Amino acid sequence: MQCVVNRRAQFSASHRYWLPELSKAENLKKFGACSRFPGHGHNYILFVSLIGELDKYGMVLNLSDVKHVIKQEVTSQLDFSYLNDVWAEFQQTLPTTENIARVIWQRLAPHLPLVRVQLFENPELWADYMGNGMEAYLSVSTHFSAAHRLAHPDLSDQDNFEIYGKCARPNGHGHNYHLEVTVKGEIDPRTGMIVDLDALNQVIEDYVVEPFDHTFLNKDISYFSEVVPTAENIALYISNLLRSPIQKLGAKLYKVKLIESPNNSCEIYCTDTESNSVNVAANQPVLARI
């Protein structure tokens, strides 16, 4: 039986987004504050996912051996380093989160049966790399606060109470929603980016956070005047809103995850279709409701 195991590691390092072939003004325009000399630092969190058959001792791999490999090949070299100089790969392609994850994969692949490298630059920005050439995934997280009422407009109050319970109370209730948006794309061989991060954050702000924050969804978002604003439907609607503008940035929307509360979250996996008319079946919603 095959099993995937995950090993966590961490390192602290600095980097700078700077292309010598560009002027100072051009670098500042392209990379913003990340172009400032002498760079800036992060406490990186690394997760390495490995696959294999369970042995007679109930293990895929001896995690002590895995720890040693990760330390020898990655963390001992990157910890307290200036990433632009520490590995030759970062001379050619800048050490963005997604590119660091890709190069870590390359360093570990000869030694470990990898299925995924996940690297957190901070709790609101992380990348996933699965060994597919220059393709990577970048995730950002944000939040908004909103109220809603779960009640189908075609049903009586009694029927709605039977389906939605306390969530059907007429004056609604609120949540601090946590939103994670994952995009997929090719790492640019020079900048190391799959998408302009500032532009991506602005799209999410303009299309979701600003119009959704501090609203009563049923009344302030016209879409939910006829559609019940469950976590699933909100996530599905957000995926429809974001698909086209993210595509214009040169990436593809891969996943929208909406956390309504610690006990309730859902994920929408987006297809490659050009249409914004997304249906639930095509997007494989996954709901955990307690």
Interval 34-38 mean pLDDT? 97
Q: Which residues fall within 8 angstroms of residue 251, CB to CB, at 6 or more apart?
A: 138, 183, 184, 185, 194, 195, 200
Q: Is residue 283 pLDDT above 90, yes or no?
A: no
Tokens 């910890």 belong to 79
- Token pair, residue 137, equals 């995934």
* pLDDT, greater one: 289 or 252: 252
Let me know: does 257 contact 266? Beta carbons within 8 Å.
yes
Between CA 104 and CA 109, with CA 105 as vertex, the angle to 5 degrees is: 125
Q: Is residue 286 pLDDT above 60, yes or no?
A: no
Q: Is residue 65 pLDDT above 80, yes or no?
A: yes
Determine the pLDDT at residue 4.
96
Interval 197-209 mean pLDDT? 98
- Token pair, residue 193, equals 């980016």
At residue 271 the predicted structure's pLDDT band, cuts being 50, 70 and 90, is confident
Q: Is residue 184 pLDDT above 50, yes or no?
A: yes
pLDDT, the chain, mean: 93
Q: What residues act catalytically?
A: 167, 214, 260
Q: Which domains does the chain have, with CATH numbers?
A: 1-131 (3.30.479.10), 134-290 (3.30.479.10)
| pLDDT digits 0-9 by tens, 1-33 | 799 999 999 999 999 999 999 999 999 999 999
CA distance 124 to 15: 18
Tokens 């009344």 belong to 219
DSSP 3-state of 163: helix
Q: Is residue 277 pLDDT above 90, yes or no?
A: no
